[in-house]
Structure 1
Amino acid sequence: MERVNPERRVSLAQQLVLELSRSILAGELPAGTKLPTEQAFTEARKVSRTVVREAMSRLQAEGLVETRRGIGTFVVDTTRPGDFQDSQHEKGSALDAVALIELRLSLEVECAALAAQRATSSQLQAIADALGEANAVGPLHQDSTRIVFEFHLQIALCTGNSFFIDAMRHLADTLMRGPQSNVTQQQRAQQVREREQIHAALAHQDADAARAAMRLHLTNELHRAQQAAQPPA
């Protein structure tokens, strides 16, 4: 039997996670939907059972699906009273993007610090995999927002705090409903460097450095969003 490179396996699992999470958050797979069986996934996707199991495990960790023993895996209800989408103002506007990043600043800075203290080796590997995907995706890719935010979500998962994780999951839902962000090549290169700094701090288990790196990254994102929100002269 042909051996699968571990990095290739992770990439395949990540791809399956991104496709399914996008469909779930977009409402294409509503709550209660039963996902195909493990065998059906392996036959349809031409991937191993290990890839499917890793993908399902990631989706469960993100709170998007649940497995009922002897019955199957089902999409869970990702909406709750008071969710962000219940807000009265129009979503997807430049001002809305500013408000979201302001919220992320108050949330993700401490997420990064806790992740640096609590992340396991397997979680750090998941963050590294998500980082590689985020740095490689082009800004015009239809899933670029989701792929980039996966890096941030993996950091939140390391906290082990369900409140942080739920908040980040709802943020992902809100971001998926908005338009893709437009950045220049120079800005994209800066974003890559900033994410690398965050990852380096996490890998060294340096909470202060992780906090500072995440604050710098989101502060710069806020400045970019504020510039986009300004009316033309």
Structure 2
Amino acid sequence: MQKMRRKETLTGQLTRTLAERISSGQYAVGARLPSEQDMIAEFGVSRTVVRETIANLRANGRVTTRQGIGAFVMQQDKSDGFQIDTAGLSAVQEMVAVLELRIALESEAAVLAAQRRSPEQLAAMKAALADMNEAISRGEDAVQADMKFHRCMAEAAGNAHFLNLFNYVGELLIPRARLQSAHLDNVPMPDYLARVQREHEQICYAIERQDPEAARAALRMHLSESKARLQRSIAKLVS
């Protein structure tokens, strides 16, 4: 049984592993991917990680899903379309550029979420916040709970394209940005996470009140704070 290592998010690792198998032909075009249970057994991950991985592969055009049957490998288009160079994300400047993309994307998703969210979707956002609080109390980095919150918000926007783009951009950026912000800004990780969590709560509260402009403002403040922290890191590196 191949276990995934926690050098990066489990979803990111599993997405990369399955994408490599598709590219190498191990999973041929038209072939059905292993079942959720088979992947859980092989990689030692949760059902949530498997489902998030399939969502990422679907967003990247690598698989298509058939309800009740599974995920199937798609013919890969030779023109890759929009992609972010993951190697470049080791540079703080590039993370700032991608974060600016997230600000534009997610601020509008927050507006739509405030207008369209269902009680169930609001409950899912609150559950993600509770998961993050629990992870912080255990001394963990809370990356998965952080991503879950933003993913739930994107889903509540009621437009699948927001969710697909977040699955791609968020998976690339959140873990790297968190490590850079906390480390280079000389902030203890628990204090950094508590601040991030307060920003999440403001977003959730605005969406709960169904106040689109407050949701937009809270989301922009949250991600703009992250951008400012990264820019301070750049200033320290070049000084």
Q: Is the TM-score greater than 0.5?
A: yes
- Which residue number corresponds to residue 7 of structure 1? none
**TM-score between the two structures when normalised by the length of structure 2:** 0.68
Residue 150 of structure 1: how far off its partner (Å): 2.3
Secondary structure, aligned partner of 1:34: coil
CA distance 1:22–1:156, change in 2 (3 Å)? same
Mark the CA change 1:170 to 1:42 in structure 2 (over 3 Å): closer, same or farther: closer
Give the 3 Å change call, closer, same or farther, for CA 107–176 of structure 1 in structure 2: closer
**How far apart are the structure 1 equivalents of 2:82 and 2:67?**
30
Deviations 1:137-195 (A, max 9, x none): 34984x74443122112111111223322221220242278475242243332211111
Partner of 1:165: 163
Deviations 1:50-108 (A, max 9, x none): x96x8877766664675436743457799972333248x82221111211221111111
Measure, in 2, the Cα distance between the counterparts of 1:82 and 1:132: 37
Match of 2:92 in 1: 94
> Residue in 1 aligned with 2:205?
200
Taking only aligned residues, the RMSD between alpha carbons, in angstroms, comes to 3.9
**Unpaired segments ≥5 residues, structure 2:** 1-8
Look up the match of 2:82: 83
The amino acid that maps onto 1:35 is P
Q: CA deviation at 1:232?
A: 4.9
CA offsets per residue over residues 122-146 of structure 1, 9 Å max, x none? 11111112222234434984x7444
- Give the 5 Å matches for 1:184-199: 184=187, 185-199=190-204
Kindly, what percent of the aligned residue pairs are identical? 29
Change (3 A) 1:179 1:221: closer
Q: In 2 relative to 1, CA 77–107 (structure 1 residues): closer, same or farther, beyond 3 Å?
A: farther
Partner of 2:18, secondary structure, is coil
Question: Contact (CA 8 Å) 1:108, 1:214: kept in 2 or not?
Answer: yes
Is the 8 Å Cα contact of residues 177 and 230 (structure 2) preserved in structure 1? no
Structure with bigger helix share is: 2
Q: Per the alignment, do residues 180 and 78 of structure 1 end up closer, same or farther by CA in structure 2, a change over 3 Å counting?
A: farther
How many pairs are equivalent?
206
- Choose which of 108, 111, 119 in structure 1 pairs with 2:109: 111
How far, CA to CA, are the matches of 2:223 and 2:229 in structure 1?
10
Q: Residue type matched to 1:104 in 2?
A: R
